[in-house]
């Protein structure tokens, strides 16, 4: 199932590139994305959280035999951490296709690249072999480069290059880390499942250095202050769907990598680095939120709010400084925040894209009073905004609550700073909603029409996901929670803070 | 010369025969189209003979009378031990045959004066390939030197062949600097001979190992150090690494593009073949000393090649600097020697061989696509590639695949090659060198992707479609397919490279 889930979009993309054109490509891509969502849902549903561990493995043991050592495997599997993220990628894949209905040139290339991107991100979450993981990680660069520079706006070429340079630069460090692990005496494997059980304290390089090599790659991707500068540019200049995928799924690759590799494989280093991570998290939260306040471009605004929100993910991860229940809660919160931010920010970008399609501006002072012309868009936009500020009954609330519960016992002061970030978030979200949607109807927007049924697909899908998880979080938290609890009991108990 | 020697040299002999046949046909028949076909199809013979010898070495069959006790997988010496037929040499011979075939195939559609000079043009390519094949197989310094000259001189003629001003200038540069580097190399060889009293690599190894153990100094003393440095300088010119790279940009720009491709791939591979052979066989006991020397050269070459490439506006110059950078990446494999890894698996050499083949496919695909496009536009500036995504969708796609592979992004062979060679570096306790290489890859992404960007995003200069002659199209398609196939399934080539690397070990 997993192989099909990961590679269906790629197959679809090749088919589009070879045979289809124009709006055919669009319809076919939508069909593929929906089928892939169904597969991802099947993966999620058939993952049994009560059993835990890795399931649904697809393994081909002998792909490449590296240098007379161990094999590089083709190995896919999901555990409680990756199963929901695969589902998230499927969900946003559909949202991305439907929010690109208005793409104006070269449908064929656009939808093909979008589907390839989907394969790459799903592969990152499902791969359990380090080299395969790295291949998917790098593979994602190519479609992103083409999508941003080909279908973006503004300084699109600069932004695309900046995105590629940052990610590629980060992954250079990661590759050295992977190789240093592999060639350490007594390790000799790329199998991530086995590595997460091993004692990796004596390596060819000090384990702190290897930890740092991985952390650099993932923190850039997350991103945190001060390596966040690629994000606003990439978001602002990317087409809507790419922003959706970028904020929704690609940033999660960073958080996923931190938990899957840094925390699981180097628990002791993670523990001693937790204060450092928490400081970065607090700075990102506050800095992100404050910069968000100052934005006048809707897309840039959402982009900076992402930096602030991804700070919560890091804050949750930093709860590994404690031992026991708190860190399991914090890690679950971090994972939840990844899922929920994916859906919420995906939705926000869809809404911004819709507003832009209608009004052809993203400049906040130019907007205002859209509510009377576009009630449907307004309702969904407000839902997205409220979810983003963490209102109860939305998934955002659950995630942030768990993060604070987990992190407070360890980093009390920094967590308090993080809570202030929630206040700022409430401030800028409500202010933005008020300035764009409400107020007197401006005469120039008198002719606007509400969203069409096709345009409504993506937001309705995402709102449903947000509300379902918000009202009954257990469907996701149970899965994340079980995985994080077993991680903590297996790797952290016995370590002193 | 015994009949056995003739059999062992059959690939080279058939290659020279083919060159003569092409010239004779050119004089008698005169159909230029025929010549290309004869040359390409004729190359099947040396290839087949090489494969036959591979079977001989592997022990699949035995046409030679073997010494009692001789085991399969060993090298078979020939002509008083001046050369040896082993998996390593045969690996390169097959590679040179393939490259020559592809370059000739791509040249059949080349524009300009080459059109009228086909006979000698093909014959020179074949002669040069013969020299390279001998180079890979030679195990004695004088044979090796002659083979080097045999491969280099036809190359000078090829570069200057079109008779255009910049092409002639490039030829003169290559000739003069090549002669200088040959002299330096020869001097190093003479010094080595002076210390060891022999020109046979295996005997040099015996002499050197006693020298290395006597004195505790690097290279067993300053004089041997001078000899080694001179030899490195001589070969460094051939493989074009910093600081012996000065000739590259001008020659690459001035030469006819198929010859630039040939130079960048075959000539470079031949240089690495002989470096591997000489340093692993003759100076094997001083591994620890020279590996650091090569690590330094590699780091400098990667860094300078990439940084200067960023500033180029002519695509051939850019690719010229890119080959300097890639020579640096490849040298990483030479620096990652067995004694640094702590076990006897010589992984550096294996990954180097894999990289060479992967690089050959990648660079040929890139250059062939450039040939096809510039043939029509006549514009070698990077800006001249604007809008090619629309004017020539398939060629642009191949060029994009080639450039992505040069950057080292999956699913191309460039990624696998870099993965392997940097693995070898980390294993050999050279993690810093791997990091330098990877950061360099990031820099290189900038100028490679700039071309891709201009092809797909910049508006075209005209809407005229660009097509390539069928032979060139075939060559482009074949190399691009190789880039992707080896990127997804590298194991087969890796196994062969491992076998070839085995032959270098004492």
Q: Which tens digit of pLDDT belongs to each residue from B153-185?
A: 999 988 888 878 888 888 999 999 889 999 999
Smallest Cβ distance to B453: which of A67, A149, A169? A149
Q: Tell which residue, B340, B324, B504, has the closest CA to residue B426.
A: B340
**A453 touches B: beta carbon within 8 Å:** no
Residue A478, pLDDT above cutoff 60:
yes
pLDDT in the model for residue A365 = 77
CB contact under 8 A, B419 and A138: no
For B334-412, list the strands marked E by DSSP: none
Arithmetic mean of pLDDT, B450-460: 82
Q: Which has the higher per-residue pLDDT, B50 or A70? A: B50
Min Cα–Cα distance to chain A from B435, Å: 6
Confidence of residue B113 (pLDDT cuts 50, 70, 90): low
Contacts of B431 in chain A (CB under 8 A): 176, 179-180, 204-205
Q: Are A77 and A55 in contact (CB under 8 A)?
A: yes
Q: The pTM is what?
A: 0.88
Give one DSSP letter per residue of B72-129, joined into a string: TTS-EEETTTTEEE-HHHHHHHHHHHHHHHHHHHHHTT--GGGGGGHHHHHHHHHHHH
Contacts of B350 in chain A (CB under 8 A): 67
Q: Tell which residue, A12, A249, A259, has the closest CA to residue A116.
A: A12
Contacts of B333 in chain A (CB under 8 A): none
Question: Do the strands B83-85 and A55-65 form a parallel or antiparallel pair, or are they unpaired?
Answer: unpaired
Q: Which has the higher per-residue pLDDT, B461 or B343? A: B461
Q: Which residue of B has its CA nearest to A171?
A: B438
B104-107: list long-range contacts, CB under 8 Å, 24+ apart: B104/B36, B104/B39, B104/B40, B104/B43, B105/B36, B105/B40, B105/B471, B105/B472, B105/B474, B105/B475, B106/B258, B106/B261, B106/B364, B106/B367, B106/B368, B106/B371, B106/B471, B106/B472, B106/B475, B106/B476, B107/B36, B107/B256, B107/B258
Q: Tell which residue, B260, B365, B385, B364, has the closest CA to residue B313.
A: B385
Smallest Cβ distance to B438: which of A66, A176, A204? A176
Contacts of A188 in chain B (CB under 8 A): none
Residue B112, pLDDT above cutoff 60:
no
**A172 touches B: beta carbon within 8 Å:** yes
How many other CB atoms sit within 10 Å of the CB of residue A139? 22
Task: Provide the 3-class DSSP secondary structure of residue B139.
Answer: coil
Using an 8 Å CB-CB cutoff, list residues of chain B that contact chain A.
Answer: 345, 347, 350-351, 404, 409-411, 415-416, 419-420, 422-424, 426-427, 429, 431, 434-435, 438-439, 441-442, 445-446, 449, 452-453, 456-457, 490-491, 494-495, 498
Q: Enumerate residues 6+ apart whose C-beta is below 8 A from A93.
A: A9, A33, A36, A37, A115, A118, A245
Arithmetic mean of pLDDT, A174-180: 85
Two tokens, residue A400: 């942030």
Contacts of A142 in chain B (CB under 8 A): 404, 409
**A135 touches B: beta carbon within 8 Å:** yes
Task: Tell me: cis bond preceding B287? Omega within 30 of 0 counts.
Answer: no
ipTM of the complex: 0.81
CA angle B485, B489, B491 (to 5 degrees): 130
Residue A497, pLDDT above cutoff 50:
no
Q: Which residue of A has its CA nearest to B401?
A: A142
Contacts of A204 in chain B (CB under 8 A): 426, 429, 431
Please tell me the distance from the alpha carbon of residue B187 to that of residue B152, in angstroms, as a whole number.
18
**A57 touches B: beta carbon within 8 Å:** no
Placement of tokens 């340093």 in the chain: B279
Which alpha helices (H) appear in A207-257, and where do they start and end?
207-221, 230-237, 240-245, 251-257
Q: Are B238 and B306 in contact (CB under 8 A)?
A: no
Task: Tell me: cis bond preceding B192? Omega within 30 of 0 counts.
Answer: no
Mutate to test the interface with B, among A176, A182, A220, A230 (most CBs of B within 10 A): A176
Average pLDDT, chain A: 82
Min Cα–Cα distance to chain A from B365, Å: 19
Two tokens, residue A341: 């931010």
Q: Which residue of B has its CA nearest to A131?
A: B419
**A179 touches B: beta carbon within 8 Å:** yes
Contacts of A180 in chain B (CB under 8 A): 426, 431
Two tokens, residue B203: 């005997």
pLDDT in the model for residue B365 = 92
Residue A186, pLDDT above cutoff 50:
yes
A206-209: list long-range contacts, CB under 8 Å, 24+ apart: A207/A266, A207/A268, A207/A269, A208/A269, A209/A180
Contacts of A74 in chain B (CB under 8 A): none
Please tell me the distance from the alpha carbon of residue A213 to that of residue A407, in angstroms, as a whole number.
24
CB contact under 8 A, B409 and A139: yes
Please tell me the distance from the alpha carbon of residue A352 to that of residue A356, in angstroms, as a whole number.
6
CB contact under 8 A, A138 and B424: no
**A234 touches B: beta carbon within 8 Å:** no
Two tokens, residue B480: 């691009």
Q: Which residue of B has its CA nearest to A205?
A: B431
Q: Enumerate residues 6+ apart whose C-beta is below 8 A from B74.
A: B57, B86
**A142 touches B: beta carbon within 8 Å:** yes
Please tell me the distance from the alpha carbon of residue B495 to that of residue A214, in angstroms, as a whole number.
30
Contacts of A237 in chain B (CB under 8 A): none
pLDDT in the model for residue B340 = 59
β-sheet bridge partners, residue A59: A75
pLDDT in the model for residue B473 = 86
Contacts of B501 in chain A (CB under 8 A): none
Please tell me the distance from the alpha carbon of residue B486 to that of residue B416, in angstroms, as a whole number.
8
Q: What is the pLDDT of residues A391-413, one digit of tens each?
A: 787 788 888 888 888 888 888 88
Residue B97, pLDDT above cutoff 90:
yes
Contacts of B419 in chain A (CB under 8 A): 131, 175
A/B interface, count of CB pairs below 8 Å: 95
């Amino acid at each position: 199932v997993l192989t099909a889930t990961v590679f269906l979009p790629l197959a679809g993309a090749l088919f589009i590139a070879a045979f289809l054109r124009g709006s055919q490509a669009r319809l076919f891509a939508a069909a593929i994305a929906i089928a892939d969502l169904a597969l991802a849902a099947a993966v999620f549903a058939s993952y049994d959280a009560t059993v835990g561990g890795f399931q649904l493995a697809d393994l081909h043991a002998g792909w490449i035999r590296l240098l007379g050592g161990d094999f590089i495997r083709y190995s896919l599997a999901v555990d409680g951490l990756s199963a929901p993220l695969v589902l998230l990628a499927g969900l946003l894949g559909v949202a991305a296709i439907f929010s690109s209905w208005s793409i104006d040139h070269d449908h064929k290339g656009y939808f093909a690249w979008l589907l390839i991107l989907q394969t790459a991100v799903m592969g990152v979450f499902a791969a359990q072999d380090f080299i395969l993981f790295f291949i998917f990680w790098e593979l994602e660069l190519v479609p992103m480069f083409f999508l941003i520079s080909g279908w973006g706006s503004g300084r699109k070429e600069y932004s695309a290059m900046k995105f590629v340079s940052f990610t590629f630069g980060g992954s250079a460090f990661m590759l050295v880390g992977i190789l240093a692990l592999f060639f350490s005496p007594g390790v000799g494997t790329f199998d991530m499942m086995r590595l997460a059980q091993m004692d990796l304290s004596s390596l060819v390089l000090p384990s702190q250095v290897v930890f740092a090599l991985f952390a650099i790659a993932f923190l850039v991707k997350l991103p945190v202050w001060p390596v966040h500068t690629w994000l606003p540019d990439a978001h602002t200049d990317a087409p809507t769907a790419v922003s959706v995928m970028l904020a929704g799924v690609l940033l999660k690759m960073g958080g996923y990598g931190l938990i899957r590799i840094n925390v699981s494989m180097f628990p002791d280093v993670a523990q001693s680095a937790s204060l450092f991570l928490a400081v970065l998290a607090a700075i990102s939260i506050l800095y992100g939120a404050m910069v968000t306040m100052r934005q006048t471009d809707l897309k840039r605004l959402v982009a900076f709010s992402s930096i602030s929100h991804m700070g919560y993910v890091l804050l949750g991860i930093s709860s590994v400084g404690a031992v026991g229940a708190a860190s399991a809660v914090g890690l679950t919160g971090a994972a939840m925040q990844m899922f929920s931010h994916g859906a919420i920010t995906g939705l926000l970008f869809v809404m911004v894209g819709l507003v832009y399609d209608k009004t052809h501006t993203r400049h906040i002072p130019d907007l205002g009073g859209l509510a009377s012309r576009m009630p449907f868009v307004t309702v969904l936009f407000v839902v997205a905004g409220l979810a983003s500020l963490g209102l109860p009954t939305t998934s955002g609330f659950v995630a942030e609550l768990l993060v604070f519960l987990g992190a407070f016992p360890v980093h009390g002061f920094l967590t308090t700073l993080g809570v202030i970030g929630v206040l700022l978030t409430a401030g800028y979200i409500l202010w933005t909603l008020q300035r764009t949607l409400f107020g007197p109807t401006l005469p120039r927007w008198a002719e606007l029409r509400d969203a069409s049924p096709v345009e409504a697909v993506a937001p309705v899908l995402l709102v449903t996901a947000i509300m379902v998880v918000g009202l009954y979080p257990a469907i996701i938290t149970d899965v994340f929670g079980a995985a994080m609890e077993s991680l903590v009991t297996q790797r952290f108990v016995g370590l002193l803070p | 010369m015994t009949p056995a020697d003739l059999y062992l040299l059959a690939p080279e002999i058939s290659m020279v025969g083919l060159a003569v046949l092409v010239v004779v046909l050119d004089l008698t028949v005169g159909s230029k189209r025929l010549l290309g076909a004869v040359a390409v199809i004729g190359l099947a013979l040396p290839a087949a003979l090489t494969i036959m010898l591979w079977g001989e070495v592997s022990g699949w069959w035995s046409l030679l009378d073997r010494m009692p006790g001789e085991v399969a997988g060993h090298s078979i010496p020939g002509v008083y031990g001046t050369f040896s037929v082993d998996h390593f040499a045969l690996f390169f011979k097959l590679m040179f045959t393939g490259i020559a075939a592809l370059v000739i195939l791509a040249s059949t559609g080349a524009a300009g004066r080459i059109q009228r000079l086909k006979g000698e043009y093909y014959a020179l390519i074949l002669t040069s390939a013969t020299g390279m094949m001998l180079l890979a197989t030679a195990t004695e310094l004088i044979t090796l030197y002659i083979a080097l000259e045999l491969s280099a001189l036809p190359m000078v003629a090829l570069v200057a062949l079109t008779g255009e001003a910049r092409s002639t200038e490039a030829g003169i540069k290559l000739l003069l600097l090549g002669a200088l580097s040959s002299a330096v190399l020869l001097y190093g060889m003479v010094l080595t001979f002076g210390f060891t009293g022999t020109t046979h690599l295996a005997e040099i190894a015996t002499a050197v190992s006693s020298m290395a153990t006597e004195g505790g100094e690097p290279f067993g003393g300053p004089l041997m150090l001078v000899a080694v440095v001179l030899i490195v300088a001589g070969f460094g010119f051939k493989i074009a690494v910093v600081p012996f790279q000065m000739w590259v940009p001008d020659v690459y720009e001035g030469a006819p593009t198929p010859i630039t491709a040939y130079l960048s791939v075959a000539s470079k591979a031949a240089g690495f073949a002989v470096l591997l052979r000489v340093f692993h066989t003759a100076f094997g006991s001083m591994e620890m000393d020279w590996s650091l020397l090569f690590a330094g050269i590699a780091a400098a070459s990667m860094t300078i090649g990439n940084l200067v490439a960023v500033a180029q506006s002519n695509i051939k110059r850019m690719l010229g600097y890119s080959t300097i950078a890639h020579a640096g990446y490849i040298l990483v494999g030479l620096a990652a020697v067995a004694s640094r890894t702590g076990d006897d698996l010589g992984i550096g050499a294996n990954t180097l061989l894999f990289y060479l083949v992967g690089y050959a496919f990648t660079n040929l695909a890139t250059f062939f696509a450039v040939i096809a496009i510039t043939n029509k536009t006549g514009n070698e500036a990077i800006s001249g590639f604007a809008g090619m995504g629309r004017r020539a969708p398939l060629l642009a796609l191949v060029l994009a695949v080639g450039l992505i592979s040069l950057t080292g992004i999956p699913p191309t062979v460039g990624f696998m090659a870099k993965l392997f060679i940097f693995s070898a570096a980390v294993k050999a306790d050279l993690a810093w060198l791997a990091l330098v290489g990877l950061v360099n890859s990031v820099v290189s992404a900038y100028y490679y992707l700039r071309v891709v960007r201009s092809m797909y995003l910049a508006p075209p200069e005209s809407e005229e479609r660009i097509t390539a002659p069928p032979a060139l199209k075939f060559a482009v398609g074949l190399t691009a397919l190789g880039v992707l196939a080896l990127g997804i399934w590298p194991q087969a080539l890796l196994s062969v490279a491992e076998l070839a690397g085995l032959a270098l070990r004492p």
